[in-house]
Amino acid sequence: MSTKAVITGWGKCIPPVELTNADLEKLSDTNDQWIIDRTGIKSRRISHVDGTDLAELAGRRALAAAGLDPKELDLILVASTTPDLICPSVAAMVQDRLGAVNSAAFDLNAACSGFVYATANAAGMIESGFVKKVLVIGAEKLSGVMDYRDRSTSVLFGDGAGAVVYEASEGDAGVLAVDLGADGGKGQTMVLKSMGTNGNVFESLLAEEMALHFEGQAVFKIAVQGIAASVTRVLGTAGFESEEVDVVIPHQANARIVDAATRLLKLDESKVFMNIDTLGNTGAASIPMAISDALDADQISPGDIIVLSAFGGGVTWGSIVLKWGERTERLGHHEGELPPTDATVFDLIEPNLRFFAELHGLDPEDLPS
């Protein structure tokens, strides 16, 4: 039996402050019903701390669930499109904070497909024998770059982090097949020029340059077709029919994208795990957070065949087939929490509102409460 990468720990960190559809109604010409009907999202979280803080806590929780000391880690891999800094990487900062002194560390950016790409890297390194224990984190602070008065993007995205521990195993469980791909020729459909979400990213930048550019309908179509094709390929590689899949954990981009891909693949929709309603699209963090939530909701059983699938900027896509191991309970819990905050959501997004005000012909001092 060959060496495989099996998930032994999982955790997530969601910041406490919510940005509801009612809050967004105060910022642009949108409404709760439109957002729910077109995206499935009711609320998303806005972080009062750095993305690295979210990544660290999700990582600590995943390590506790795996019963691992950070010193046992060989590699920390963070997928993020919104790191605090480009250098040092989020992974290196997390490595330092955890005291994971025997671990290598690097970040990877494949936008919303980042966690799937990171899993493929972790699994490949484990299968080759280069490493044995890997902490993979997906972490995003998308609120650091959003124009919250642009209704075409502001309704979708949220902050958060999710983490998974992969360990070498000689059993039949673990990552069974991978499909990764990219089409850089379509890259202009999603463009984010901002660099780093630490501090005031808006200082000395031009608003018209920095707003997230997004061709919603084009992305929608590419995403549905891309996910369906990728899942078909990865199931073929793993040698499974779609009926043999127990749980599908898709990137939580938009409930309608997932529904359309589910129909195209003729998958049983009861097997598709969704948590987009309360978290929104959290980029590279969405799949590991959904894995954690699916376990908490008892939707994953020992030995289940699981498909992870994502699509994102670049454009990039990726799907994984994995067989869950024997344990669906955490070995331990990390008791730490984020520092509390009294900030309102409008306090947290005030720099964004001021910075992008001129794009909407508004006075930067004209702020909602």
C-beta of 257: minimal distance to ligand COA in Å? Answer: 6
Mark whether 13 is an active-site residue. no
Site residues for ligand COA, window 288-327 (CB under 6 A)?
311-312
CA separation for the pair 367, 345 (Å, rounded): 12
Residue of 187, 216, 351, 368 that binds ligand COA (CB under 6 A): 216
Nearer to ligand COA, 204 or 217 (CB): 217
| 34 touches ligand COA by CB under 6 A | yes
C-beta of 151: minimal distance to ligand COA in Å? Answer: 3
| 275 touches ligand COA by CB under 6 A | no
Nearer to ligand COA, 34 or 240 (CB): 34
Nearer to ligand COA, 167 or 179 (CB): 179
Residue of 4, 9, 12, 30 that binds ligand COA (CB under 6 A): 30
| 151 touches ligand COA by CB under 6 A | yes
Site residues for ligand COA, window 332-361 (CB under 6 A)?
none
Mark whether 87 is an active-site residue. no
Judged by CB under 6 A, the number of residues near ligand COA is 20
CA separation for the pair 186, 286 (Å, rounded): 23
Nearer to ligand COA, 156 or 234 (CB): 156
C-beta of 256: minimal distance to ligand COA in Å? Answer: 7
Residue of 7, 94, 110, 223 that binds ligand COA (CB under 6 A): 223
Give one word for 204, left, alpha or beta, with left for phi > 0 and alpha for psi -120 to 50.
left
C-beta of 155: minimal distance to ligand COA in Å? Answer: 5
Mark whether 251 is an active-site residue. yes
CA separation for the pair 269, 53 (Å, rounded): 34
C-beta of 34: minimal distance to ligand COA in Å? Answer: 4
Question: Looking at 48, 251, 254, 275, which residue is catalytic?
Answer: 251
Q: Are 325 and 171 in contact (CB under 8 A)?
A: yes
Residue of 57, 78, 90, 155 that binds ligand COA (CB under 6 A): 155
| 253 touches ligand COA by CB under 6 A | yes
Closest CA to 246 of 315, 324, 312: 324
Q: Which residues bind ligand COA (CB under 6 A)?
A: 30, 34, 38-39, 112, 151-152, 155-156, 216-217, 219-220, 223, 253-254, 257, 281, 311-312
Active-site residue list: 112, 251, 281
